[in-house]
Structure 1
Amino acid sequence: MTDRRRINGPSGGTSAPIFSKYLAKTPNELLERPTRSRPNNALRKMFLKTGVTPSASGSAYLELEASKNPKSTAPGLSSPSTSGLKLTCTVHGPRPLPKSAPFSPHIILTTHVKYAPFATRKRRGYLRDSSERDLGVHLETALRGVIIGDRWPKSGVEIIITILEGEEDQWWGDGIGHGNTAAAEWGMMSVLSGCITVASAAIADAGIDCVDVVAGGVAAVVKGSAKGPSPNLVLDPVPSEHKEIIAACIVGYLPSRDEITDLWVKGDIGHGNQNEDTAQSASYEELADSAVQAALGSHRVLIAALKETADVKIGRS
């Protein structure tokens, strides 16, 4: 007997309808890579709001401005070349551990990072893969040194982040024979930076004591920009805007204590012949310092969002 109440989805992949008035008139306009219109030391616009999930102890939502082709004039619908970031975070706890759990003098931190199935151009599965587990490990490392865990013995807190829209690892046109097809997972760096920032806001919204408010920042050494073929050091990179990314660095930074809780460098930097065009002119220290500057920019938005939340709570009381 068939279940008439259930509507099964299609067995294969489908494409959303695109209206003809939003299509480019020539193929060259459709396959044009978006360019970075911001200065190298400028960050994308960030929207951060706390208290979006009333059932959780603390929650936050973060959204970064999507990149856009400056020559695109199509209103309304997003272009296939756009790449943005949308994250939501919920904090559950602190709450007592089960009686069967061994005694712990400090709080037990658990992080869970998961892409939504529709978050990227390539559909994600329902079970966490290795990249999502890596994001969870780095997030736990960045937050473990921030929370004052001695105040909650034999307690646990769960931090769950859902990636509603993730950064693309490369421009979508590179997959059909344009540009470099050997793309690494560069989008994970920006995603991890956003995860650290939104988790910090959710922890503060939950009222968990911390030594400082941690913020995430990312910087990269890119090649093939519009200003010249030489490598450039940029803050808050968007992989779809650059033909090739040589190296990237993401940090979790505590501004008031001037400490780094997490550092992840990926790529080739500081090696090779400096006379070659593909060589890197920046060092590890310069790349890390640039990531710290990006974290300071995110920290300003984070503090402003927390002050707004505090004013709302004080006004209600």
Structure 2
Amino acid sequence: MSDRRRINGPSGGTSAPIYSKYLAKDAKKSPERPTRTREPNVLRKMFLKTGVTPSASGSAYLELEASKNPNSTAPGLASLSTSGLKLTCTVHGPRPLPKSAPFSPHIILTTHVKYAPFATRKRRGYLRDSTERDLGVHLETALRGVIIGDRWPKSGVEVIITILEGEEDQWWGDDIGGAVTSAAEWGMMSVLSGCITVASAAIADAGIDCVDVVAGGVAAAVKGTGTGGDTSAPMVVLDPVPSEHKDIIAACIVGYLPGRDEITDLWVKGEIGKDNLTRNSVPGSSYEELADNAVQAALGAHRVLIAALKETTEVKMGRL
């Protein structure tokens, strides 16, 4: 029975049509795939600020810059190469559990990750799908070993992250050209890395005792493109943008504690074999070395995280 009180949208996800005079029908004049202008070991610029939601116990906002194609001269939509990453996080608690809940000697952590309907080109539904649930499980794993839970018995804390703008899994020009792309959700790796960092900042803003602040980092093994369109040897890059790389071999995301030199969460996608990477040509020819590069990316995010927390502390101390 249909609901007559509202106009229901389509059951599946849809991509909004693109109308632009800069998109030519001729394949030779079509926009080119964006290329990575950063060095393989350079991260994107990150903006992080805490205390953005006064009604919550702690909150934070994280944004990664959206790089543009330097070779594109057309203004408007055709000049965009990739969407950036914009996340907002709120922390509610610690607060007592309901009286009907069983006794717990430590704090109960609950994580909730949700894409906004407009976060990606493919419109998201209002109910959480499997991708969002996986992000929540990995986020809980990364944060569980950070919070000192014994100090809040029979208490609970909720970490809620809303993805305002998510990383795309592929270049939007592939949809126009009808190119066949893999179904791997590479953009989810960068999203999870940002979720770990912004959640750690919000937890610190809430005043919850932790052993250290955890930062997320991601590294990927990609097939580079040489001059003339020739495929060069694979290489390992930090903070990859899926739309800038046509073929991603594997990616690794870590939640890293620099103070203790510990990894709280590790997730690897893809396969690294002799056909893809060789020890003579690529520095990250194994999963261990790929994880080490992800740790280096986490250290870069950790420096931004510490600087944001110091700035917030100085502002709070100035008000006293």
Maintained 8 Å contact 1:218/1:294: yes
Maintained 8 Å contact 2:234/2:277: no
1:261 equivalenced with 2:264 (yes/no) = yes
**Alignment equivalent of 2:255, drawn from 248, 252, 256:** 252
Q: Match for residue 103 of structure 1?
A: 103
Maintained 8 Å contact 1:270/1:284: no
Distance 1:281 1:45, change over 3 A: closer
- Report which stretch shifted further, 265-274 or 47-56: 265-274
Q: 1:48: how far off?
A: 0.5
1-side partners of 2:94 and 2:29: how far apart?
52
Unaligned runs of 5+ in 1: 1-5
Please, what is the CA RMSD of the aligned residues? 2.7
**Alignment equivalent of 1:306, drawn from 300, 304, 309:** 309
Distance 1:281 1:10, change over 3 A: closer
Residues 78-129 of structure 1, C-alpha deviations (whole Å, 9 max, x = no match):
8453221110000000000000000000000000000111111111111000
After TM superposition, the score normalised by the length of structure 2 is 0.89
2-side partners of 1:273 and 1:202: how far apart?
39
After TM superposition, the score normalised by the length of structure 1 is 0.89
2-side partners of 1:84 and 1:205: how far apart?
24
Tell me the secondary structure at the aligned position of residue 86 of structure 1.
Answer: strand
Q: Match for residue 190 of structure 1?
A: 190
1-side partners of 2:15 and 2:145: how far apart?
44
- Name the % identity: 79
Q: Match for residue 287 of structure 2?
A: 284
1:157 equivalenced with 2:160 (yes/no) = no
Maintained 8 Å contact 1:120/1:167: yes
Pairs aligned (count): 310
Maintained 8 Å contact 2:235/2:282: no
Q: 1:172: how far off?
A: 1.7
Distance 1:173 1:198, change over 3 A: same
1-side partners of 2:173 and 2:78: how far apart?
16
1-side partners of 2:272 and 2:10: how far apart?
44
Unaligned runs of 5+ in 2: none
Q: Equivalent residues in 2 for 1:105-144 (5 A)? A: 105-144=105-144
Q: Match for residue 167 of structure 2?
A: 167
Maintained 8 Å contact 1:214/1:254: yes
Distance 1:38 1:280, change over 3 A: closer
2-side partners of 1:262 and 1:8: how far apart?
42
Distance 1:274 1:42, change over 3 A: closer
The code of the aligned residue for 2:115 comes to Y
2-side partners of 1:17 and 1:225: how far apart?
28
